Amino acid sequence: MAVAKFAEIKEHMLTQIEIGAWPEHSRVPSENELAEQFSVSRMTARRALQELTEQGILYRTQGVGSFVAALKSQSSLLEIRNIADEIQSRGHSYSAQLLQLTELPCPAVIASALGLKHQQQVFFSLIVHYEDQVPLQLEARYVNPQQIPDYIQQDFSHITPHLYLSQVAPLTEAEHTVEAILPDHFTCQHLHLKKPEACLRLTRRTFSRDGAVSLAYLTSPGSRYRLGGHLNFALEKRS
């Protein structure tokens, strides 16, 4: 089946954004420019721009044009970094232990989060991240096999899931929550906790332009790990 012209234009524009040719807040071609480039009507070009705007990928400034919007994940109150980079930025050594990498029937709550059917196959990885050989984080991650079919073939002792997913499915959106928990025996064992202590659990769901990619549960001892960030607030001009 032939691809509709407006969809072809959208695909082209998304590709330019993903490869960095059009960075955040850069102006994109106008309706007239797109219509001429793709030999289509202005109405067709307008539909492509309108749909990308409705999806939050572009934003319009009246009388000026359309621009690339900031990634939703980057506008979050809390920026989540690749844990290997985070550790190495402190001048410490990073290492990881892969406990499990498998395919299993998808639990109902995971299926709902990833847009899969209950009991449909899902990829699952379980990894302990170490800072200077001390366990810092236990990562349990479910990955949508429809989005990332080669996930289960990776060597996560040499690359983190976060970095791999960022490379093969560029992040367009992320949502996360942080809560305090008391860890179970399994978590205590792999984080080398002699007795249960308050831990931070970050639940993070990521999306690429094609849909939900992964749901991760990241658990760290409160005595070894903290979350923080720096926010800049731009002052808007008032009329």
**Residue 80 pLDDT > 70:** no
Which residue did the predictor score with more confidence, 233 or 52?
A: 52
Give the residue with greater pLDDT, 74 vs 156.
156
Give the CA dihedral 77, 83, 88, 91, nearest 10 degrees.
Answer: 70
pLDDT at 232 over 70: no
Dump pLDDT digits (tens) for 183-217: 999 999 999 999 889 999 999 999 888 889 999 99
Most confidently modeled of 19-23, 139-143, 202-206? 139-143
The model's pLDDT over 103-132, given as tens digits with 9 standing for 90+, comes to 999 988 899 899 999 889 999 999 999 999
* C-alpha span between 14 and 45 (Å, rounded): 14
Structure tokens at 222: 């409160």
pLDDT computed for residue 239 by the predictor: 35
Tell me the β-bridge partners of 219.
138, 201
| CATH classification (class only), 74-221 | alpha beta
The pLDDT score that the predictor gives to residue 73 is: 33
pLDDT of residue 82: 84
Supply the pLDDT for residue 2. 60
Per-domain boundaries in the chain: 5-70, 74-221
Distance between CA atoms of residues 152 and 149, nearest Å: 7
- With tokens 């299993």, the residue in question is 104
Residue 77 has pLDDT above 80, yes or no: no
Average pLDDT, the chain: 85
Name the 3-class secondary structure at 1: coil
Question: Is it true that 5-70 and 74-221 share their CATH fold?
Answer: no
Fold of the domain built from segment(s) 5-70: Arc Repressor Mutant, subunit A (1.10.10)
Sheet holding 134-143, edge to edge: 94-105, 121-131, 134-143, 211-221, 199-208, 173-181
β-strand partners of 174: 206
In this predicted structure, what is the pLDDT of residue 213? 94
End-to-end CA distance of the chain: 51
